[in-house]
Amino acid sequence: MKTAIEETFISLKGRFRGDLLRPHDEAYAHARGIWNAMVARTPGLIARCADVADVQAAVRAAGAAGALTAVRCGGHSLAGFSTCDGGLVIDLSRMRDVSVDREARRGRFAGGCLLGSIDVATQQEGLVFPSGVVSHTGAAGLVLGGGFGWLTRLHGLSADNVEGFTLVTADGSIVHANGKQNAELFWALRGGGGNFGVVTEFEVKLHPLTSVVLAEALCLGDDISGILRRWRDFMPDAPDNLKWNLNLRIAPNTENVPADSRGRPVASESVLWVGDPEEGRAYLDHVVSPAVNRKVVSYLALQTMADNEFPHGRHYYTKSGYFKSLDDSSIDRMVQALATVPSPTTQIELAYLGGAAARVAAGETAFGDRSSPFVVNLLANWSDASEDAANVAWIRNLFKVLRPSMTPGVYVNFMSGDEDDRVPEAYRERWDRLVEVKSHYDPHNFFRLNQNIQPTKTASIKRDR
Ligand SMILES: Cc1cc2nc3c(=O)[nH]c(=O)nc-3n(C[C@H](O)[C@H](O)[C@H](O)COP(=O)(O)OP(=O)(O)OC[C@H]3O[C@@H](n4cnc5c(N)ncnc54)[C@H](O)[C@@H]3O)c2cc1C
């Protein structure tokens, strides 16, 4: 008797236009890799699609054979959802076309694009799509979960800037979702993750921008708690043009860090002003000392400056949550935790959302909480599997201590693979509506390698063709 993956392979062989890679194929070892080595798996077949017809064929073949199926864009799922053991990976890395309409300030990009491919194409026309901060991240996974980055306060979440999706649903059909067609699906795709199908094209709004003002500084010792308190107090009244991110970490042993700071706990600050530099000067003076170096950087430089901090193939583990307001004791606990961090590359990332993202009504998209602006992401980052236990334990312990002060909710794209119980918490009052959409478009839970919304048996949604 043939296994489900053998059946899938036989069904696709001969008609699939992309690459079908099995464990004995030369290209398989490289194609198997995902960003987080901690969740590496060995799929039975990687179907690297050349076009939408290949995606349809792969979905139909795996569905008919009953093969476990993962979908991969950039492979950056912290939880490792874009791979699986023994099953099929629908790999979209050959589908990276981007087109830009400068006049209309609109763009389209394919379901396998990395953020970098979109940034390069849109910058050629002096435009940007608001996305994340590391250019090798996949756009599809990021946008479907919500997506935030440097421009979120000014232009909203990535998902807020999507006007239409084209996807292949679990029965292999092509469906369009936008404000006029399949409106419930359009709502669900803006935050609901990869639960509803394989998105093959995104239609998006673009904004003019080519450069920004950036100031970066390191704080040490007692100044760390002080800067966190100032950040907390300042951000609620800050203009949308200003984004101020803080990372608590051990200062690296690199040339750009003063020798006496290396290896010590620090808060690394990045303050961004998007707009007229003169207008931003007073705000930047208020936030960072005028002595701190500010520079005008190109948008592409901004979008790639963190790329080397999060390389492929290391071990990563994360836990995340929101705060409505950040109390002094949570600040002190995070700072104290740095004294025992097992890996020097681990970071406690702090961002303040608010701005345009917070002005979108709670029910307008499926994205989780927009009302709690402080986002904390505890991201352990280490190299050796023998250190997995110590790093995971450190994150879990710190999360446990912070959790009582957090507000319920979590950003789905910052969750690990061991947090199924938190998925309803991520969507809160949007959960039942998401279950309804899932039940209609994927009643057998074919797309289940994601922060999963399990279907129920009944759904009463109208589908437009
Ligand atoms: C280094 C790094 C930096 C990050 N920075 C940010 C950031 O600045 N802002 C932010 O919001 N998030 C950020 N994230 C989180 C990021 O949004 C998620 O990890 C996201 O899932 C990555 O998308 P991907 O396409 O690379 O993932 P993949 O691993 O390829 O896929 C992730 C999930 O999306 C589904 N999926 C992928 N492609 C499709 C598709 N075409 N159609 C349907 N489903 C699909 C997969 O099935 C899977 O469930 C970052 C992550 C990393 C690792």
Q: Is the CB of 69 under 6 A from ligand 1?
A: no
* 338-395 per-position pLDDT tens digit: 999 999 999 999 999 999 999 999 999 999 989 999 999 999 999 999 999 999 999 9
Atom 16 in ligand 1: residue holding the nearest Cα = 142
* The pLDDT value given to residue 222: 85
Q: For residues 351 and 35, what is the distance between their CA atoms, to the nearest angstrom? A: 23
**Block residue for tokens 């029965």:** 171
CA distances from 460 to 356, 363, 428, 456, 464 (A): 33, 19, 21, 11, 13
pTM reported for the whole predicted model: 0.97
445 pLDDT band (50/70/90 cuts)?
Answer: very high
Percent of the chain residues past pLDDT 90, beyond the cut: 93
* The pLDDT value given to residue 463: 72
Q: For residues 94 and 54, what is the distance between their CA atoms, to the nearest angstrom? A: 11
Residue 459 predicted with pLDDT over 70: no
DSSP class of residue 370 equals: S
* The pLDDT value given to residue 289: 80
* 193-230 per-position pLDDT tens digit: 999 999 999 999 999 999 999 999 999 988 999 999 99
Q: Is the CB of 116 under 6 A from ligand 1?
A: no
**Mean pLDDT across the chain:** 96
Residue 126 falls in which region: left (phi positive, over 0), alpha (psi -120 to 50) or beta: left
* 315-333 per-position pLDDT tens digit: 999 999 999 999 999 999 9
Atom 15 in ligand 1: residue holding the nearest Cα = 413
Q: Is the CB of 243 under 6 A from ligand 1?
A: no
Using DSSP's 3-state secondary structure scheme, residue 108 falls into strand
Using DSSP's 3-state secondary structure scheme, residue 53 falls into helix
Q: Is the CB of 287 under 6 A from ligand 1?
A: no
Instruction: Check if the beta carbon of residue 13 is closer than 8 Å to that of residue 54.
Output: no
Q: Is the CB of 318 under 6 A from ligand 1?
A: no
* 256-309 per-position pLDDT tens digit: 888 988 999 999 999 999 999 999 999 999 888 877 889 999 999 999 999 999
Residue 66 predicted with pLDDT over 70: yes
Tell me the best of 72, 88, 346 to mutate to test the pocket of ligand 1, counting ligand atoms within 8 Å of each CB and taking the most.
72
Instruction: Check if the beta carbon of residue 70 is closer than 8 Å to that of residue 8.
Output: no
Index of the ligand 1 atom closest to the CA of residue 451? 49
